[in-house]
């Protein structure tokens, strides 16, 4: 998250120890926000000021930078329960909105911004992002995207790799349900997750990785990338599903940022439940759902193009089914884990998404009916703040 690694080989050697010491199903959540001019809702480059103010406030340690000066991230840090993570995320979102008021800016939470040009955004000045910009140039400049990242603790390096391998299968379902970005630079793109197209299709070492035959195979690949000079540190591997070497977590980076914090938490809860379900399957010797890249890519495309509005492939059954039914099946499949980890109350907002469609599909229907992306976006910016005070779990 923006910090450079001074000894990448040492970090790789230490990573196995991090996983050996990890506690199962601890949780960390990161939400990325657009920093917006309050009047025009255009992206505005106020991150340095917001970060300085946050560091001198109760938000100290709870915010970070993410590539561009018109973006800011809130993070929970390690939480022992989902309720703790949800409470922290809600409170930090509230604090950040209140802080933004003092700078006459506001915050947006969609996977892409509807109209601000990429070439007007500047990269933040940190050692890590100087490396990123130096290596990628246009690809980094072009990446004005905003997402949700979920870290779930998994004990054991080989076990974590097995969970990562299987989670690849479910990335399209998560992307489809979280889709909130049908626009970019004053164009309706007709994609549901333009964020996924821009980020995962342009960045190197991004999107879905191959499956690895245990930690040793993963470690060999990272060593190879370091040896041949493709990367300087493991944080330059931007896969949608990855073992996080520093934290002993499985990190999932499949979802667009969402305006409604309750929908955001619902998607996060589902991801935690999936990790726990796959870990149990591994422990019990159950065959994990691991498919080759060329098959998974069919669903990746469907998810970012149509969201929940069309079909995804059920690989086990070798047929296409409504995307919403695929998500419902996942919720049912990991139901025992959701109950055991106290996740079930947070999953309720998924019902509305699955019944009425992902956010981007809803926006698209309105755009095709004559509404403008800018008007819809203004409504969603207001929702990003209003949803903080509507906590269905406490009702």
CB of 164 closer than 8 Å to CB of 243: yes
pLDDT digits (tens, 9 = 90+) for 354-385: 999 999 999 999 999 999 999 999 999 999 99
254/147 Cα distance (integer angstroms): 8
Whether the pLDDT of residue 21 is over 80: the answer is: yes
Residue 341 tokens read as 């980890």
Phi and psi at 280, nearest 5°, equal -65, -40
Q: What is the pLDDT of residue 111?
A: 98
- DSSP 8-state class, residue 345: G
Q: Where are the beta strands (DSSP E) in the chain?
A: 27-37, 63-64, 71-75, 105-108, 147-153, 183-184, 187-188, 206-207, 238-239, 241-244, 249-256, 311-314, 319-322
Is 90 exceeded by the pLDDT of residue 127?
no
Q: What is the pLDDT of residue 357?
A: 97
* Mean pLDDT (whole number) for 90-106: 97
Look at strands 249-256 and 147-153 and give their pairing: antiparallel
Helix-then-strand count for the chain, H and E: 16, 13
> Could you give the CA distance from residue 368 to residue 338 in angstroms, rounded to a whole number?
38
Q: Which helix (H) or strand (E) holds 192?
A: none
User: What is the average pLDDT across 106-123?
Assistant: 97
CA dihedral over 98, 56, 256, 184, signed as positive or negative: positive
64 neighbors 73 (Cβ within 8 angstroms): yes
Residue-level pLDDT at 1: 42
Of the pLDDT bands very low, low, confident and very high (cuts 50, 70, 90), residue 4 is: low
Q: What mean pLDDT is predicted for residues 194-198?
A: 97
Is 360 in contact with 344 (CB distance < 8 Å)? Answer: no
Q: Residue 147 has what DSSP assignment? A: E
Judged against a pLDDT cut of 70, whether residue 3 lies above it is answered with: no
Nearest to 58 by CA among 5, 29, 31, 95: 95
Residue 5 has pLDDT above 80, yes or no: no
Q: Residue 253 — φ and ψ, nearest 5°?
A: -130, 45
- State how far the Cα of 278 lies from the Cα of 266, in Å rounded to an integer: 18
pLDDT in tens, 166-183: 999 999 999 999 999 999
Cα–Cα dist 27/84, whole Å: 9
What is the residue-wise DSSP string for 35-89?
EEETTT--B---HHHHHHHHHTSTTTTSEE--SBTTEEEEE---BSSHHHHHHHH
For the record, the structure tokens of 334 come out as 């990991």
What token pair was written down for 272? 């935690």
Whether domain 8-390 has CATH 3.30.590.20: the reply is yes
Helix (H) or strand (E) holding 354: helix 349-356
Mean pLDDT, to the nearest integer, of 204-225? 97
Given a contact cutoff of 8 angstroms between Cβ atoms, the answer to whether 184 and 112 are in contact is: yes
pLDDT surpassing 80 at residue 6:
no
Residue 128 has pLDDT above 90, yes or no: no
pLDDT at 394 over 90: no
- pLDDT digits 0-9 by tens, 298-356: 999 999 999 999 999 999 999 999 999 999 999 999 999 999 999 999 999 999 999 99
Rounded mean pLDDT of 204-226? 97
Summarize pLDDT for 248-261 with one digit per residue, the tens: 999 999 999 999 99
Q: Which residue has the tokens 């709870």?
A: 62
């Amino acid at each position: 998250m923006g910090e450079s690694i001074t000894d990448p080989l040492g970090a790789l050697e230490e990573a196995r120890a991090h996983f050996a010491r990890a506690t199962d199903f601890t949780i960390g959540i990161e939400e990325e926000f657009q920093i917006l001019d309050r009047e025009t809702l255009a992206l505005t480059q106020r991150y340095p000021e917001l970060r300085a103010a946050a560091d001198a406030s109760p938000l100290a340690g709870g915010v970070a930078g993410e590539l561009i000066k018109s973006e800011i991230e809130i993070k929970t840090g390690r939480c022992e329960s989902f309720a703790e993570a949800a409470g922290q995320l809600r409170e930090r979102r509230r604090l950040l909105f209140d802080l933004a008021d003092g700078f006459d800016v506001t915050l947006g939470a969609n996977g892409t911004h509807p109209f601000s040009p990429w070439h007007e955004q500047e990269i933040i000045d940190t050692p890590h992002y100087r490396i990123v910009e130096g290596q990628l140039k246009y690809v980094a400049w072009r990446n004005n995207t905003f997402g949700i990242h979920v870290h779930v603790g998994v004990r054991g390096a080989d076990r974590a790799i097995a969970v990562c391998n299987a989670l690849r299968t479910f990335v399209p379902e998560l992307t489809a349900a979280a889709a909130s970005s049908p626009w970019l630079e004053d164009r309706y793109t007709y994609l549901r997750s333009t964020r996924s197209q821009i980020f995962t299709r342009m960045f190197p070492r991004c999107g879905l990785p191959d499956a690895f035959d245990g930690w040793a195979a993963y470690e060999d690949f990272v060593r190879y990338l370091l040896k041949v000079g493709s990367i300087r540190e493991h944080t330059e591997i931007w896969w949608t599903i990855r073992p996080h070497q520093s934290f002993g977590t499985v990190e999932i980076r499949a979802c667009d940022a969402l305006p409604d914090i309750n929908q955001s938490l619902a998607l996060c809860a589902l991801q935690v439940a999936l990790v726990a379900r796959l870990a149990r399957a591994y422990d019990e010797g159950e065959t994990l759902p691991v498919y080759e890249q060329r098959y998974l890519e069919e669903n990746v495309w469907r998810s970012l193009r149509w969201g929940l509005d069309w079909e995804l492939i059920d690989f086990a059954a070798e047929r296409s089914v409504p995307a919403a039914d695929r998500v419902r099946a996942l919720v049912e499949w990991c139901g025992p884990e959701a109950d055991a980890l106290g996740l079930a109350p947070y999953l309720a907002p998924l019902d509305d998404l699955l019944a009425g469609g992902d956010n981007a599909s809803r926006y698209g229907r309105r755009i095709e009916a004559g509404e403008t992306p800018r008007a819809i976006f203004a409504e969603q910016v207001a929702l990003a703040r209003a949803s903080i005070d509507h906590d269905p779990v406490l009702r």
